[in-house]
Structure 1
Amino acid sequence: MGTIPILHVTEPDLVKAVCQCTPFDLGRPEFVKKTRKPLFGENSLVTANGELWAHERKVVAQEFSMHRVKGMVTAITECGTTLTETWHKIVENEGGKAEIMVQSYLRNFSGNIISRVCFGNSYGKGEEVFSKLSMLQKVWSKSNLVTAIPGTRYLPTKINREIHRLNQEIRSLILYIVQEHKQQDSINRDLLHSIIEGSTSIPDRTALTEEFIIDNCKTMYFAAFETTSVTAAWCLLLLALHPEWQSHVRKEVLEITRGATPDFNMLRQFKMLTMVIQETLRLFPPAAFILREALHDMKLHNMHVPKGTVIQITIPMLHRDLDVWGPDADVFNPNRFANGISGACKHPHMYAPFGSGPRTCAGQNLAMVELKIVLSLLLMRFSFNLSPSYVHSPAYRMTVEPEHDVPLIVKKYDNSAHM
């Protein structure tokens, strides 16, 4: 790409070698930092390297440990219940059956959760931040900055002006929330508090306190918001296309919950639902690429890689490799995960919906719990069929999402026989 050498890797042994490298050997590419600066900044968990990355990982990862996520289940189920009540009213008003474009509702569900988790008492302002970040993402994707001519992102074009405006508004909102947080009498032990606290001990970068906070708040949008809502949309699409699996999963959910709101212990018993989510993540991984840059001359497996070489792993190619997954690699078959990831394919490291190695997505525990809760709640109350108006067109906008939304025919489901 221009003067940047890119090594495209799909061979299992090389993929494994890349994923096992430390962030001090393979880091985030410089061109990614520059082109995606409006979305992530230059000092966030997804763009930083070396000691700064290690510090940020420690700050953020502890907030998304399974122990912390367990304490978020009540808030997640409340948001999920709000979503199901909204759909229930729509379906009731339409006489028991309605066509619903699901993406915006799932975004609101996921945004409500991460706003509470990230911004605590200021989650109302948090929702405003995520709304503007969503707008920024769409504008950025139109600009096609990844392949743009060097320097064009500085030109005062209409798109560049819009990116700058949204970026400034998001920055101001986050700084307002931070100031509000600091003035609170009682300390709210949420993710924002940890990020603010972590900004006071940045290794050798004390002048970047503001940027550290802003960039990491932005990153939470993609790490724990965008990926979840997109995956939920794909999951509902696949369940609508495969009514036998929809029936199997609903039966499992109703037998375990007996119609009650699912709690953390119930979530761990959802084997079929977990298999469906894992298969959805295989066919439609939210992230399309793993990108790394050699920070020094190094040996990768049996290959010499010069400093500055960008290594690209295209995740959808790993997930549909016939040699790894078998002849049905393109087919929706959740049964392949009946014995877990290690039993699903020849090389477990070739399954990387949340990335792989030290830089695996820190928010994956939260994402999986959110998905199990929202899907179980929806399956308990509704049945789904794909609308004839659906147009299949996966689009890359930082995540792989349905370009034209997912319209579903939603019907009320009577679960009284299982209660």
Structure 2
Amino acid sequence: MNQCISLDLGKPSYITKRLAPMLGNGILRSNGHLWAQQRKIIAPEFFMDKVKVMVGLMVESMQPLVRKWEDSIEAQSGVMADIRVDEDLRGFTADVIARACFGSSYSKGREIFSKLRKLQTAISKQSFLFGVPGYGLLPMKKQNEILSLEREIESLIWETVKERESKCKEACSSEKDLLHLILEGALNDQSLGEDSSKRFIVDNCKNIYFAGHESTAVAASWCLMLLALQPEWQSRVRAEVAQVCGGSLPDADSLSRLKTVTMVIQEALRLYPPAAFVSREALEEIQLGNVTIPKGTCLWTLIPTLHRDAEIWGSDANEFKPERFSDGVSKACKYPQAYIPFGVGSRLCLGRNMAMVQLKIVLALIISKFTFSLSPKYRHSPAYRMIVEPGNGVHILIQNI
């Protein structure tokens, strides 16, 4: 299903309809030729050579979080602080995406993302997982709130797009932020009219926020929760960061050599993948292997179930064992295609490289500065709210090294 390249297999319409206020008709929601066209424009901006250029701003965006935690330790006892880390990590990833997308105007980007978070919260109140007709419909007051937020967000993005259009031709390539580059790609695409290119930008700003900010913050939260239970792996990561970075801040070169950090992230994404499922709808009758899928049929793969299948991963499938990835994904399990935190095939997540780099920076900087364990306040409750996030947040007890 994931490796099928036919445009006749796409995102289910009943889900995408409900997500329209959040995602517009951007790359996460679109199907067919529109999806293929958007991927062609956006994908090159997330290749690793482009992501490496963003490493400096990512490291810079982590500094306020580190200082905030140091101040919390000083304020609470001078020795240890009890911190809810998931909200702080959301602030970090929002800052990264805002800086990457909006450059010097990133404060406006943060305002947009704040409203998008409210919109996501409002939409996630409805149950759209299996699309039971009439189930999970929102009261009129909540529907009006969603509509109002959608208009506010689009208005803010329109303003930014107009500001950028005038600068797009003037800026040299070294000054162009992500929004510049995507806008330029849209304007240069002959198949998009002027109105369509602006709509393309508005919708995909929303998509980049959701995929690049929210999902990465949640993944980082799960990483810290698991490491809080594993002081041995904290020590191993700390030793690797010290050896590779030599006391300096990580850069693009050193990040690529953090093998232990990568294994920890891969295992955390296996146990707690932010995406709960992969779903597809047969937009026309289609053949998958020797199975004929009738038009209108929805197909589902539940990722957490797949990632914990003992037949694929072994009897220790529910245990945190990063060493299973020591020789890469291909040797970690029976079928490499069963590991899909970023999907697989033609709809592989465009932001995979950016997410992995951000997660490496988070772990490298936090573990080199602090030791931590789970707080008594922590209550384990994975919750499905468009993505699988810690239902009660992640509270940890943190100390300076």
Query: Does residue 68 of the first structure (1) align with residue 50 of the second (2)?
Result: yes
Q: Mapping of 1:80-99 within 5 angstroms?
A: 80-94=62-76, 95-99=78-82
For the residues of structure 1 that align with 2:120 and 2:181, how far apart are their CA atoms? Answer: 25
The CA deviation at 1:302 is 1.7
Residue 225 of structure 2: SS of its match in structure 1? helix
Cα offset, 1:249, TM superposition: 1.0
* Partner in structure 2 of residue 48 of structure 1: 30
Deviations 1:150-183 (A, max 9, x none): 5789976121111111111111111111112223
Number of matched residues?
395
Does the CA contact (< 8 Å) of 1:52 and 1:203 recur in 2?
no
Residue number among 127, 140, 143 corresponding to 2:110 in the alignment: 127
In 2, distance between residues paired with 1:132 and 1:179? 20
- Of the three residues 353, 371, 375, the one matched with 2:359 is 371
The one of 199, 204, 211 equivalent to 2:186 is 199
1:387 paired with 2:375, answer yes
The alpha carbon displacement at 1:96 in A equals 2.2
Looking at structure 1, the residues matched to 272 and 139 of structure 2 have their Cα atoms a distance apart, in angstroms, of 36
Whether 1:317 and 2:300 are equivalent positions in the alignment is no
Question: Who is 1:25 aligned against?
Answer: 8
Shifted more, 329-338 versus 151-160: the winner is 151-160
Pair 126,153 (structure 1): closer, same or farther in 2 beyond 3 Å: farther
User: Match of 1:165?
Assistant: 148
Q: Does 1:177 align with 2:199?
A: no
Aligned to 1:12: none
The residue type paired with residue 274 of structure 1 is T
- 1:223 and 2:211 are equivalent in the alignment: yes
Aligned AA for 1:333?
Answer: K
More moved, 103-112 vs 28-37: 28-37
Distance 1:322 1:219 in 2: 34
Alignment equivalent of 1:308, drawn from 296, 302, 312: 296
Equivalence for 1:4: none
1:138 aligns with 2:107: no
Q: Is the 8 A contact 1:202 1:209 kept in 2?
A: no
Q: 1:191/1:28 Cα in 2 relative to 1: closer, same or farther (>3 Å)?
A: same
1:208 Cα deviation after fit: 3.1
> Partner of 1:243 in structure 2?
231
- Given residue 301 of structure 1, which amino acid in structure 2 is its aligned partner? G
User: 1:109/1:303 Cα in 2 relative to 1: closer, same or farther (>3 Å)?
Assistant: same
Report how far residue 145 of structure 1 moved: 4.2
Taking the aligned partners of 1:44 and 1:208, their CA distance within structure 2 comes to 12
Contact 2:282 2:293 in 1 (8 A): yes
Counterpart check, 1:268 vs 2:256: yes
- Write the distance in 2 (CA, Å) between the matches of 1:133 and 1:202: 30
Match of 2:21 in 1: 38
1:110 maps to: 93
> What's the TM-score once normalised by structure 2's chain length?
0.94
Q: Structure 1 stretches of 5 or more lacking a match? A: 1-17, 414-419
Q: Do structure 1's residue 283 and structure 2's residue 271 form an aligned pair?
A: yes
Residues 152 and 182 of structure 1, relative CA distance in 2, 3 Å threshold: farther
What is the percentage of aligned positions where both structures have the same residue?
Answer: 48
- Displacement after TM superposition at 1:308 (Å): 1.4
CA distance in 1, matches of 2:164, 2:199: 17
| Contact 2:10 2:282 survives alignment (8 Å) | yes
The answer as to whether partners of 1:294 and 1:306 remain within 8 angstroms in 2 is: yes
User: What is the root-mean-square deviation of aligned Cα atoms in Å?
Assistant: 1.9
Q: 1:154 to 1:184 in 2, by over 3 A?
A: farther
Displacement after TM superposition at 1:184 (Å) = 3.4
Q: 2:11 and 2:103 mapped to 1: Cα distance?
A: 30
2:45–2:178 Cα contact (<8 Å) kept: yes
Tell me the residue number matched to 1:10.
none
Q: Which residue of 2 aligns with 1:292?
A: 280
Aligned to 1:19, the other structure's residue is in SS state coil
Q: 1:103-130 CA distances to partner (integer Å, 9 max, x unpaired)?
A: 1110111001011111222211101111
TM-score of the aligned structures, taking structure 1 as reference length? 0.90
Q: Partners of 2:383 and 2:399 in 1: how far apart? A: 28
The secondary structure found in structure 2 opposite 1:282 is: helix
The one-letter code matched in structure 2 to 1:38 is: P
1:60–1:191 CA contact under 8 A, matched in 2:
no
